[in-house]
Structure 1
Amino acid sequence: MDVVLSKSRLRPLLFVPLGLVVLAGVLVEVLRPVYGLPSRSGFVPFFSMSYEGNVPTFYTSALLGFTSLLLMIAAAAARRAGERFAAHWWVLAAGFAYIAVDEVFQFHEMAGTFFQLSGVLYFSWVIPAAIVVLVVGLSYVPFLRHLPRRTSLRFLVAGAIYVGGAVGMELPLGYWTEQHGSHNLGYGLIDAVEESLEMLGINLFLLWLVDHLAEKGVTLRFAAAPEAPAEPAAEAADAP
């Protein structure tokens, strides 16, 4: 049996789990203060988008890892075609692979330990993160202009949603955390918006990347292993 990875097949596989993860994350945040659910064990740390090493974390990390794999395929296709910007695809693939690992181990938060700020910059790692986004964005302008217009606009929209969540939503979250702490419903809901935007941005980018690969003639197909040829029947014993 062959399974072709097309946008129509991929869409429900991406957005149904996204809806379930977000719904579960918001529900546990709302039900925690209502029913006094424990914060250190049980459903809250397992489904909350404010915790690490749980269902939302590994869901997002898996999405990022799969996107990195597709970017490698795009890079290989671009190199075979002799395209000018093949290296940019490889850099994107490496970047997504790093973010997938960072999603689990939270390396980026170490950048916030070097200097302490307040207000919307309470999570001070957003400053180096914004600088990196700006530098990478400017360096990728020729790459985006090289892509078909619809593809470049789609990638920009997906990137804006992801960065708006990952970096932009850290500003109100930092202000709230400084004023009210992180163990309350307000923090959980703001963080849920942040994580939801990140997941949505990745899903859209992945979906539109599959479209781009299809336009380039790259079909992603999963085929069952061919069956081993049947052994020839043993020859009948010598006739009398």
Structure 2
Amino acid sequence: MLTRFFNVDGEKNIPASFSTLLLLGASVLLGRISFMQFRRKAPFTHWLVLSVGFLMMAIDEFLSFHERLMKPVKTLLNVEDVAIFRHAWVIPAALLILLLIPYFWNFMRQLPTRTARMFIIAASLYLGGALGIEVIGGYYASTQGFDFMYKMIATVEESLEMAGVILFIHELMIFIGDSKNWQTKQSENKIAAESSSEFAG
């Protein structure tokens, strides 16, 4: 009974709920940043797209919509018997990521160096688990079964995903804090400039 509730490879249990909450948290923070950028009349579209994307990921994490893609993708690509594509949903997911890279390229280049670097590390952790280790786990399950080693692979996969989102959330919070400090400094400079003008007048 407890195994089902704490199985990292399971659905609608404690680890899945935790992952869902992490993704929702990231979505909320991204939404907040997009609103902050909008108020500053700064570019906000990419932040908003990320916010919506993480919201969709959270919904998918809880309801496992991506699992329903496996059979249609296998049939479409004729890879039903290819062990490495047991989790065939990774194919359209990888293609989607490749398509999004050009869209976010300039956005990443315009971010502060530290922020961009940490975003890349967080994405690498998450995608390394969600796609890379997922493929390895699928291959192992197809050839060896769902034994203890498979459970270890699944644990590594989910741990990488969680670590990636946690790191991403951490960096988003730092970015929000830095933005607030910047806004405060701008306001103080504006007040100081107005005071100087009045004094000079």
Please report the TM-score for the alignment, with normalisation by the length of structure 1: 0.71
* CA–CA separation in structure 1 for the residues paired with 2:151 and 2:50: 31
* CA–CA separation in structure 1 for the residues paired with 2:172 and 2:95: 25
Which amino acid in structure 2 is aligned with residue 140 of structure 1? F
Moved over 6 A (4+): none
Of 153, 164, 177, the residue aligned with 2:141 is 177
Q: Which runs of 5+ in 1 are unaligned?
A: 1-41, 220-240
Work out whether 1:113 is the aligned partner of 2:71.
yes
Higher relative contact order (CA 8 A, sep 6+): 1
Of 166, 170, 173, the residue aligned with 2:130 is 166
Could you list the per-position Cα deviations for residues 92-129 of structure 1 after superposition, in whole angstroms to 9, with x for gaps in the alignment? 00000111110111111122111332122221111101
Q: Name the larger-Rg structure.
A: 1
2:192 alignment counterpart: none
Work out whether 1:72 is the aligned partner of 2:31.
yes
Tell me the SS of whatever aligns to 2:149. helix
Aligned length: 176
Work out whether 1:63 is the aligned partner of 2:27.
no
Normalized per residue, which structure has more helix?
2
Tell me the SS of whatever aligns to 2:30. helix
Which amino acid in structure 1 is aligned with residue 21 of structure 2? A
Which amino acid in structure 1 is aligned with residue 31 of structure 2? M
How much is the aligned-residue C-alpha RMSD, in angstroms? 1.3
Of 82, 89, 93, the residue aligned with 1:129 is 93
Tell me the SS of whatever aligns to 2:73. coil
* CA–CA separation in structure 1 for the residues paired with 2:88 and 2:130: 13
Which amino acid in structure 2 is aligned with residue 69 of structure 1? V
Please report the TM-score for the alignment, with normalisation by the length of structure 2: 0.84
Shift of 1:163: 0.6
Work out whether 1:98 is the aligned partner of 2:61.
no
* CA–CA separation in structure 1 for the residues paired with 2:134 and 2:68: 15
Identify the range of structure 1 (134-143 vs 92-101) with the bigger mean alpha-carbon deviation: 134-143
